Every structure is written in C-alpha cells, then in structure tokens.
Amino acid sequence: MTPPPALPERGRTIVGLLGVLAIVGVALSLAPSSSIGQAATIDQPTGDAEAIVETDPVFETGDAADDPAIWYNETDPAQSVVVGNDKKGSLEVYDLAGHRIQRIADGFYGNVDIRRGFTTGTGPVDLVVTWHFGIQVYAISSTTRLLSNITDTSTGSIAVPTGGEGLCLYRSPVDGSTYVFVNSRSGHVAQYQLTDADNDGKIEGTLRRDWVIGSETEGCVADDELGWFYISEEGVGIWKYSAEPGAPSSVDARTLVDTTVARGGHILPDAEGLTIVYQPGGTGYLMASSQAASDVANSIIVYQRQDANAFVRNAKVITGSMTDGCGRTDGIDALAIDMGPSFPHGMFVCQDNANTQPSAGNQNFKLVPLERLVGLVSELTPTTTTTTTTTLPVDTTTTLPGDTTTTSTTTTTTTTTTPPTTAPPTTAPPTTAPPPPTTIPPPPTNAISFVGGATANASATAHTVTMPASVRAGDSLLLLLATNNLATVSAPTGVTGWSQVAALASGSARSVVWQKVAVAADAGKVVRVALSASTKANLAVVVHRGTSLTAPVAAFARVAAPSGTVHSTPVVAVPQAGTWAVSYWTHRDSTTTSLIPPGGVQVRSNSTQTGASRITAMVADSGAAVTTSSYGGLVASGAATTWNSHVWTVILAPA
C-alpha cells in the first residue's frame, strides 16, 4: 500500500491528502474546466466489478502470482507501475497496460509493499520492500521505473526471525519513522524499523517488536494516518492492533474486525489480502480478499476505515468484455488518485488464480478502476481543459533574459493559544471502537488558531525554511512551494513525515503543497526541498493548532489561472463545522513585488524575489471557522495578467 502522495502506497486515497480523481458509470456531477480540483462524490457502487487490464502472465505454472503493490508516478501518473511477486521465482514490474518491464528472477519472493519519499543520506527514494531470504529493500527509479537493491547487508537481505509469507509497510504518524511487518505461516509477526543510519543511501533494519498471532497468517496492511495494523489470520478473521512499535501486542490489546461465516462473520476462508483506501478526515475503506475454496465464491469485502470498521459491501471482480475476473484471490492493492486516462479515479489490483481470458495462461494480476468497487470523494477532472497538470516537459532553464539572482528571507511568528491540559493516552487502544493510537496531545478545544509561519525566497537548486520555534506536537504544518520552472521537486527533508497534498504544473511554473502533523522535535528545524535545476522559488510554512491529529487537510482544490484572467481561488465544499480555510496565490512575472489580498482573510505570507521571471506568492487563512457550505472565489490583485498563476484552496479539519 502506498498512501496518499501522502501520498500513505498500498491502498491510499489521496484526496485531502493527495488528489483523488476518477471515471465510471456512477453518479457524478461534472463541472466546467474552471472547476479543476473541486470536490465531488462518487456514489457507493452496487454489484460486481470488471477489470479493464490484465498483466502478462507470470513465468511459473500453478499457484505462483501472489501479491501486488502500486507505485505512483507523480511526474506522469499514467506511467505508474504495479510490482508483483511470482512466489515460485521472481519479483516483477508491470506498466499500466499490463506489460512486464522488469523481472528479477532469483527464487522465492514473498509479499511486496511500497512507500514513497523515504529519506536517506543521499536523498529521498521510493521504497519497494519484499521478503527474499529476509527483508529486501529496493529503490524504484522515477525515470526508468526499474528496481535496484539498496539493502545495507552483504547478503542483500536483512535477516529476520520469521518466515516472510506476508509483508507490509507502515509510516508512523507520530514521528514519521518507517517500519516493515513480516509474518509467517506459523503466525509469527516481526516489526522492523527501516533506517539509513550511516547515511550511505542504503537501508538497514532493526527489530522493534515480535509476537505470535495464533494460526497461519499472511495478508497485512498498516494505516499510516490512523496508526493501525491489520493482519489476516487465515482461518479465523482479520485482527486490528496498534501499529506503533511500543504498543502491546497481547490478545487483549487487539480487536477482531471480522471473522469467518462459520463464526458469524462475512469471510469465506481463507482471509487473505488486505489494503486501505484513504479518504479525507480519516475516512475511507479497509478492503479484504475473502479467498474461499473456489474461484467463483471468492469476493472482495469492503469495510469502513474509521471507528470499528463496519461492514460496507461484498463484491466480486468478474469476467467482462476485456479480461476475466479474479478467482481465489490472494494479494490485493488499491490507490485512489488520478493515474491517467484509464484510471482517473484510482486503481484496484487483484491476483487471479485461474487466468482464462482472453486466452488461458499462467496466473496474473487484474487492474480495475477503483470506483467500480468503492464510492469516493474525488477531485474532478474537467470535462474540457485549457491546461494540463501532468506529463509536462521539464524546463531546466536556470535564468531567463534579464534575470538576477537575489535572495531574501522573511519570518513571522505569533502564538495565540494556551498549552493543552490533557495528557496523551498511555494505554493500549481499547478493543471496541478504538481511537487512533497516538502520543500527540489533543488540543484544548475544537477551535483552530494560527500559530506562526516562515517564508524564504531564493534562486537555487535547494530551498530551505526554518520551522517556527512555537511549533508544538499536534500542530498542523502546511509547506507550500512555488517555482518559476518545471524542475523536478524532491520530497522535503530535514523535517520528516510530510505527505504531499497535491502538485500543479502549467506553462513554466509549478506549485506543491505538503501537510504534516507536527512532533515536538520539529520546532526550530530547517526543512529543505531540493530541485533538479536552479529555480526562483517561494517556500512557505504555516502552522495551525486545534486541527485534526491524523489528516489536517480535509479537502482542497487547485487551478492554473491562464494569462489574462483574474487570480480567483477555486471553490471547495466545506465538509464539517469548525474548519478553517487556507488560500494560496502564486504568480510568475518580472514586476510584481507583492499581491493585494481580498477582504476577509488574514495574510500569513506575501513576498517575492527580484529580477525577471520571479515568483510572488501569498498565503492567507480565514482567521476563524468557516460558516458557509463552500469556500473560495477569492481574488488577489496587484499583479500583471501576462503570466500564469496558480491558486489553491485548502480546508483544515478541526480536531
């Protein structure tokens, strides 16, 4: 599972936390091109689903294909890939047309999982982790889409005290650390922390926790926002534990999410693959493969992601006009984000036990538009467009005629709230309707307030800004970057745990917004964003208190305003009471020095560089809870209209 560009990538929906888009035959109210990124709802589907793509069959016969994971290509979503294991002999990479682009043939490979933006001493990498004689860590290239082993051991694998039938990754919302869970047919589970302790760009693993579930286990998934670890005990059901390494793992510290039909549940044994679909505000879905004893009885069970994981629906991936279905499914994965024309709302992948159509062959994986299985809150793709946000060429020009390269930095900090009075929970999560396991103290009330911010302007290949000293654990952090060319942007470093909300590219400008729930150690730290070429850029951070402790961004929209148009923020539906709204305007020209804000907002940052093609950016918030059902349409003035502008609306959820 690759969470949201949080993008949370096995099963990650990124709306609110990362732009989720879509297709399909369900009710959708489309808006004109000016509404790019506006929130919409895709209704919960009914009935079964058909795949539209299948991968090349694996090379080995019999029960071979096993577990898929989706890697999201931020630069060109249609160039995303599926990584799957042939447990009889290889690890394989497929494009979204189902064609094999890499095969690493070296004997048994266990389950596989992916996380983007892992920080190493040589820069951020996207991790593909599998079991191969221990934990084996690969980096996936953003350009070639091929895997290379970066495990920091002489054997190329991290030795573990258990087999590796099942495996899943977890990025802690408490401190941003990345962990891998491995489990075996004996029911033994081990949790390792992945690090690059010696800063050599290679990954080590340290055992943090191990325990025994009971009987045979395999499928597992962890929720990077809510802090839960789910695991399938094949003949029993699905268990839910705290994913934090210091949490207890005894039988009284776990919850049974669902059980087999013989015990009164919904699962036709075996309970197998698990994945998560991330949606705004901690909502979404836990999805499970009910493998059953026959191809036709197999189904996908959908549960709510939040609270006690209530049952939602049961569906099959069936034979359709383009492929056969998924029978006796083992591994599954899902990612709710625009992945190009074939999967504009996201994708679900399942292993097929019996590959019969369009021609019979060895086992393979089927690719299904995600909205055919679950309802989604989605950001709309316009019906007609005048700009594009993907597959744009990289502009490596460092300066344009008349450029100068001056640097300026401004910082503002105010503190208006009092320290929280409630201590963080210290006990294990309860076994019914548990709250998220976290050590972040809750705010004193549901009221959101502005804490502080900082801004830096420069022409450079790496841009930095210092976190305000007033940052406290539990605060929401928004990091906002605007650049004057299309250089590739790396994940932030120096302060860990960021998840990308979304990005936008048009003309010769790019903007990116990240979110994070602060930990105490973030105060006063320097966050750094590296680019592939020198750019003039504005980098800002704003801090709010009293926001959600799991997913501060509840909804968002962004749009490129072409030259000759006013810079009006997109309108976003307000999902709940008590929210605040953040507005962000960016502008590229050679004369503007600041933007004039509209009425009714509190400006938190408004600055620029000097010289030609400079970026001027302004960040403001509502200064109080939003009392209307939608927010946006705010116009910043004072800039020439001869260059494109990017405008954003971001809605912050209360705690």
Confirm if 254 and 261 have CB atoms less than 8 A apart. Answer: no
Compare 502 and 266 and report the one with higher pLDDT: 266
> What residues contact 65, with CB distance under 8 A and at least 6 apart?
57, 58, 84, 85, 86, 87, 330, 351, 352, 362, 363, 364, 365
Nearest Cα to Cα of residue 332 among 221, 239, 255: 221
pLDDT level of residue 179 (50, 70, 90 thresholds): very high
Using DSSP bridges, classify how beta strands 332-336 and 12-13 pair: parallel, antiparallel or unpaired: parallel
pLDDT of residue 194: 98
Confirm if 348 and 368 have CB atoms less than 8 A apart. Answer: yes
Per-residue pLDDT reduced to its tens digit, 472-489: 999 999 999 999 888 889
Nearest 10 degrees: Cα torsion 258, 260, 261, 263: -90
Locate 256 and state its tokens. Answer: 């049974």
Provide, rounded to the nearest whole percent, the portion of the chain with pLDDT above 70. 82
Least confident of 151-160, 265-274, 433-442, 461-470: 433-442
**Summary mean pLDDT of the chain:** 82
pLDDT of residue 405: 32
Least confident of 18-32, 65-79, 243-257, 481-495: 18-32
What is the three-state SS of 561-595?
Answer: ECCCCCEECCCEECCCCCCEEEEEEEEEECCCCCC
Q: Which residue(s) pair with 560 in the sheet?
A: 646
pLDDT level of residue 641 (50, 70, 90 thresholds): low
pLDDT level of residue 285 (50, 70, 90 thresholds): very high
Nearest Cα to Cα of residue 630 among 567, 565, 556: 556
Confirm if 70 and 80 have CB atoms less than 8 A apart. Answer: yes
pLDDT of residue 504: 85
Q: Is the pLDDT of residue 11 over 50?
A: no
Confirm if 61 and 362 have CB atoms less than 8 A apart. Answer: yes
For 243-296, where are the E strands, in sequence order?
255-259, 271-278, 284-290
Per-residue pLDDT reduced to its tens digit, 553-608: 988 888 887 665 667 888 988 888 899 999 998 887 777 777 888 999 999 998 88
Segment 383-405 mean pLDDT = 30
Which strand (E) or helix (H) includes residue 41?
Answer: strand 39-42
Nearest Cα to Cα of residue 543 among 512, 572, 525, 516: 516
pLDDT of residue 356: 87
Burial of residue 448 (CB within 10 Å: 0-12, 13-18, 19+) is: buried
What is the Cα–Cα distance from 482 to 537, expressed in whole angstroms? 5
Torsions phi, psi of 412, nearest 5?
A: -130, 140
Helix (H/G/I), strand (E/B), else coil: 34: helix
Which strand (E) or helix (H) includes residue 211?
Answer: strand 204-212
Compare 1 and 153 and report the one with higher pLDDT: 153
Which strand (E) or helix (H) includes residue 465?
Answer: strand 449-466
Segment 128-141 mean pLDDT = 95
Q: Is the pLDDT of residue 387 over 60?
A: no
Per-residue pLDDT reduced to its tens digit, 432-460: 333 343 333 433 344 899 999 999 998 89
Segment 231-246 mean pLDDT = 96
What is the Cα–Cα distance from 85 to 69, expressed in whole angstroms? 9
Locate 475 and state its tokens. Answer: 């605060």
Please report, in angstroms and rounded to a whole number, the separation of the first and last CA atoms in the chain.
Answer: 26
What is the Cα–Cα distance from 20 to 232, expressed in whole angstroms? 28
Compare 431 and 143 and report the one with higher pLDDT: 143
Q: Is the pLDDT of residue 339 over 80?
A: yes
Least confident of 67-76, 238-247, 257-266, 504-513: 504-513
